[in-house]
């Protein structure tokens, strides 16, 4: 007696209990930019089309505060722990923290970053890229507070989906506005005037 393929499948069918966990939109690339506070730095970011077709991506930039970045990393770790406890064995790699430039460590005071404009920007809202090709867009970084800054660029094609690039910025003390030079005798203290410009 011959059994049809569908009948064989029905006899040997089994069920799997699948529980997906979406931890986070994991960036496929990370770009680091360093600058002095109040000074703009620009970087040419190369986009590589990962999809098997020509695409026209919408470009969306989302800036994050340090607290939001830490909260996202904590949520990803919590989701990974829940997946592992459920037997999924999923692992999540947290985003790398921004590396400070070589030199001494700068103690950054706590400042309400919401009072200032976003640190990162991009030069376009859409970009076309052929299958397997590359394109460039310009990223600007203008920090108004010292310390670490974070952002993500989301590239989305309405048919094929989206992917994410991560931006990590670090700003240090601003460049001095005035440089004063003095000459004094050895072992002789002397008071010297120092002009400080009044704030606007």
Segment 90-108 shows an average pLDDT of 52
Instruction: Say if 180 falls within a structural domain.
Output: no
b (16+ CB within 10 A) / e for 59-96? bebebbbbeebeebeeebeebbeebeeeeeebebeebe
> Is pLDDT at 151 greater than 50 in this prediction?
yes
Residue 133 has pLDDT above 70, yes or no: yes
120 assigned to some structural domain: yes
pTM of the full structure: 0.67
Return the H-helix or E-strand segment holding 152: strand 147-157
Q: What share of the chain is helix, strand, coil (3-state, %, to 5)?
A: 15, 30, 55
What's the pLDDT score for residue 99? 54
Phi then psi dihedrals of residue 18, to 5 deg: -100, 130
Calpha distance 169→151 (Å, rounded): 8
How many domains is the chain partitioned into structurally? 1
Query: What pLDDT score was predicted for residue 103?
Result: 54
Summarised one tens digit per residue, pLDDT across range 39-80 is 999 999 999 999 999 999 999 999 987 777 777 667 667 766
19 lies in a domain? no
Query: In CATH, what number is assigned to the domain containing residue 150?
Result: 2.60.40.2310
Any domain includes 128:
yes
Domain boundaries, position 54: 28-64+114-172
Predicted pLDDT at 67: 74
Q: What is the pLDDT of residue 94?
A: 46
**87 lies in some domain:** no
10: in domain: no
């Amino acid at each position: 007696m011959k059994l049809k393929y569908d009948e064989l499948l029905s006899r040997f069918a089994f069920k799997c209990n699948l529980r997906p966990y979406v931890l986070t939109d994991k960036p496929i690339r990370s770009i680091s930019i360093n600058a002095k506070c109040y000074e703009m730095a620009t970087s040419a970011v190369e986009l590589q089309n990962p999809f098997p077709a020509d695409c026209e991506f919408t470009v969306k930039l989302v800036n994050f505060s340090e607290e939001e970045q830490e909260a996202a990393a904590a949520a990803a770790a919590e989701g990974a722990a829940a997946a592992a406890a459920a037997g999924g064995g999923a692992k999540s790699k947290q985003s790398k923290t921004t590396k400070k430039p070589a030199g001494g460590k700068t103690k950054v005071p706590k400042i309400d970053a919401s009072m200032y404009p976003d640190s990162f920007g991009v030069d376009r809202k859409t970009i076309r890229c052929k299958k397997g090709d590359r394109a460039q867009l310009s990223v600007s970084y203008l920090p108004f507070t010292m310390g670490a800054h974070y952002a993500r660029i989301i590239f989305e094609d309405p048919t094929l989906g989206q992917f994410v690039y991560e931006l990590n910025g670090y700003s240090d003390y601003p460049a001095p506005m005035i440089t004063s030079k003095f000459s004094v005798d050895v072992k002789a203290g002397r008071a010297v005037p120092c002009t400080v410009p009044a704030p606007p």
